[in-house]
Amino acid sequence: MISTRGRYALRMMVDLAEHADEGHVALKDIAQRQDISKKYLEQIVPILNRAALLQTTRGAGGGYRLVKPARDYTVGEILRATEGSMAPVACLEGGVNTCPRCAECATLFIWEGLQRVEEEYLDSITLQDILDKQAETNNYSI
């Protein structure tokens, strides 16, 4: 399940993509447009900064902007930055499966397949795809 933090981070990134031509965007403006507490967004910003997804400028005229064009961000990379592991079961978290039963686990292939499909799907959608879908439907919301 995707947490509120992951959903809000994605909404913030979509908002930044929508307003990319405005330069640096103030957090209060994002909070107002997205109806998300500014304090909550302040907790998300450092996570996105550590993942090198945002550019931050302090002071007058400061704010946040995307580092890359919207087409170069995937939903998967944003969610992995905010959620950590997207593994459907604990034994698949991290890189190496250290479960003592993994060699004889009858259901491991199911969880590996689910993780693969989820990652492929989320990595196939970009911020630009979301903007395009929003423009197409004119009422799309996350």
pLDDT of residue 84: 87
What gap in Å lies between CA 78 and CA 86, rounded to an integer? 11
Collect all residues with Cβ–Cβ distance below 8 Å to 79 and sequence separation of at least 6.
2, 6, 9, 10, 86, 122
pLDDT of residue 68: 96
pLDDT of residue 93: 87
What gap in Å lies between CA 51 and CA 34, rounded to an integer? 22
pLDDT of residue 54: 95
What gap in Å lies between CA 62 and CA 24, rounded to an integer? 6
pLDDT of residue 139: 62
What gap in Å lies between CA 63 and CA 40, rounded to an integer? 16
CATH number listed for the domain at residues 4-85+126-137: 1.10.10.10
Domain borders along the chain are 4-85+126-137
pLDDT one-digit tens code per residue, 73-104? 999 999 999 998 888 888 888 878 888 888 89
Retrieve residue 51's tokens: 């993942």
What gap in Å lies between CA 119 and CA 80, rounded to an integer? 10
pLDDT of residue 141: 58
Three-class DSSP category at 57: strand
pLDDT of residue 142: 58
Q: Which residues of the chain have pLDDT under 50?
A: none
Query: What's the one-letter identity of residue 110?
Result: I
